[in-house]
Every structure is written in C-alpha cells, then in structure tokens.
C-alpha cells in the first residue's frame, strides 16, 4: 500500500507542479512576446528561450518528485528506490508525451526530454537514499 501511495503522491506532485509552472510560463511568454514586438531579434531566439527555461525546470521538478516518492515509499534498497522513482517518471513523462503526440511523431528533443525526466526522477530517489544512509550512519 505504501508503494502505491508513494507513486500516486509523487506523480501528483510532478503533475501539479508542472501545471502551475506552465501557467507561470504562459505569463512570461506573453510578456516576452510583447517585448519582442519592440526588439525583433528576440523573435529569432524564442525557441531557444523556451528550451533554456523549460528543461531545467522539468529536471528540477522531476528530481523533487523522485525525492518525495522515495521518502514516502521508505524503501532502502537501490532497486526498490529506482523502481518507485522510475515509475513516477514514466507515468508523468508518458502522460505528458502522450498528450503532446496525438497526431505527430516523436522527435529527438522528445527523446531527450524523456531521458532527462526519467534520469532526474531516479536521481531524486537516489539522493533521498544517500541522505537516508548518511543519517542512519
């Protein structure tokens, strides 16, 4: 039961945090587009700006989601921690990619996002495990 609870809470954290950050991003993008009307060179870098802002935020949120998942699961072996955190990463990035890929194909950037999300959620779990082992002595 604890495993399911950990996976559900970790997934909900990631989804809610990313939705709130997407809302903030919309406000930032509106301001950026308004600024780009006065400075045309900003239109050329809008795609780069999107990835420079979105990817680090995604990695941080997935890392925290993995950390929370491992803390709630309270498992102390590498494989169990990895399983829980990978499952959270898979569920959240799978849902994100499924909704984004309704009528198109997976791109190289999509593959990079999947790898980063799964790695970050797993790294968050292993970070919790390291912290737990340091405290336990």
47-92 pLDDT, tens per residue?
777 778 889 999 999 999 999 999 999 999 999 999 999 999 999 9
Identify the residue whose tokens are 């968050």: 124
Count of residues in the chain? 137
The pLDDT of residue 101 is 76
Distance CA 89, CA 122 (A): 8
Of the two residues 6 and 31, the one the predictor is more confident about is 6
pLDDT value, residue 12: 97
Average pLDDT of span 121-135: 95
Q: What is the chain's mean pLDDT, rounded?
A: 89
Of the candidates 69, 4, 57, the residue with the CA atom closest to the CA atom of residue 28 = 57
Contact in structure between 54 and 94 (CB atoms under 8 Å): no
Structure token digits, residue 26 = 């919309």
The pTM assigned to this predicted structure is 0.87
């Amino acid at each position: 039961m604890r495993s399911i609870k950990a996976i559900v809470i970790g997934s909900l954290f990631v989804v809610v945090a990313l939705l709130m950050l997407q809302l903030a991003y919309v406000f930032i993008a509106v301001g950026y587009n308004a600024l780009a009307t006065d400075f045309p060179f900003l239109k050329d870098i809008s795609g780069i700006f999107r990835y420079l802002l979105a990817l680090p935020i995604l990695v941080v949120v997935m890392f925290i989601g993995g950390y929370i998942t491992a803390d709630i699961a309270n498992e102390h072996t590498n494989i169990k921690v990895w399983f829980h955190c990978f499952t959270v990463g898979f569920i959240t990035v799978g849902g994100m990619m499924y909704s984004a890929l309704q009528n198109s194909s997976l791109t190289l950037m999509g593959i990079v996002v999947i790898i980063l999300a799964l790695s970050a959620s797993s790294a968050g779990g292993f970070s919790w495990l390291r912290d737990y082992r340091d405290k336990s002595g």
